[in-house]
């Protein structure tokens, strides 16, 4: 009797954890990889002291894009979206948000999230900071929401936050569409900056 009670208890606990600790789907990994490659770049240098030109020369811009960065992904993918955030979206994407219930997820495995630009990607516990810099031991930290898709998986909506320091970050809503087997950003709306 006791043994069957413990077995049922263990099965109930395991089943309740399944919704949050989930393996990322292929589309999630493709979108996350694409966004990391698009948004992971170092902070450009300041212009020369006497320079009137604020444009970065092409050779410096090209060299910045070749820098390999340490990229952190926060493991908690939150699932609740503020109604004022949803109101920013075009109607097509509002419908996607309103027709899909979202639950938070915890990323436990980043296998398949890869950078074509050669960035090193790791899961980062954002509660642990570096004592010297006051920031995480990565060059840039990504915090993804749950990615919500339409029924045929050709459109997606997510919120993404990126941070390069304690007071150097922003977040926004991204509306994406799959065109010719490639995910592209169709529209984006900033939600916060720090």
Full residue range of the structural domain in which residue 96 is found: 23-43+51-193
Residue 162 has pLDDT above 90, yes or no: yes
Residue 16 in domain: no
Q: What is the mean pLDDT of residues 66-92?
A: 86
Mean pLDDT of the region 59-87 = 84
How many domains does the structure of the chain reveal?
A: 1
In a domain, 118, yes or no: yes
Evaluate the CA torsion angle 109, 125, 122, 183 in order and state its sign.
positive
pLDDT tens track for 84-139: 888 888 998 988 888 777 778 888 889 999 999 999 999 987 666 655 555 678 88
Retrieve residue 107's tokens: 């990323």
SS3 state at 40: coil
Residue 86 lies in a domain: yes
Check: CB of residue 165 under 8 Å from CB of residue 185: no
Q: How confident is the model at residue 34 (pLDDT cuts 50, 70, 90)?
A: very high
């Amino acid at each position: 009797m006791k043994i069957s009670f413990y077995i049922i208890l263990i099965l109930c606990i395991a089943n309740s954890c399944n919704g949050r600790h989930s393996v990322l789907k292929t589309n999630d990994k493709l979108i996350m990889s694409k966004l990391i490659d698009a948004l992971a770049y170092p902070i450009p240098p300041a212009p020369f002291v006497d320079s009137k030109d604020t444009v970065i020369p092409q050779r410096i811009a090209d060299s910045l894009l070749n820098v390999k960065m340490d990229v952190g992904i926060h493991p908690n993918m939150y699932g609740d979206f503020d109604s004022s955030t949803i109101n920013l979206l075009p109607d097509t994407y509002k419908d996607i948000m309103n027709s899909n219930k979202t639950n938070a997820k915890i990323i436990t495995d980043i296998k398949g999230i890869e950078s074509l630009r050669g960035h090193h990607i790791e899961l980062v516990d954002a509660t642990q900071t570096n004592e010297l810099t006051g920031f995480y031991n990565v060059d840039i930290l990504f915090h993804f929401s749950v990615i919500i898709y339409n029924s045929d998986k050709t459109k997606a909506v997510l919120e993404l936050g990126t941070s390069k320091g304690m007071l150097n970050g922003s977040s926004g809503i991204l509306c994406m569409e799959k065109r010719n087997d490639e995910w592209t950003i169709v529209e984006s709306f900033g939600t916060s900056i720090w």
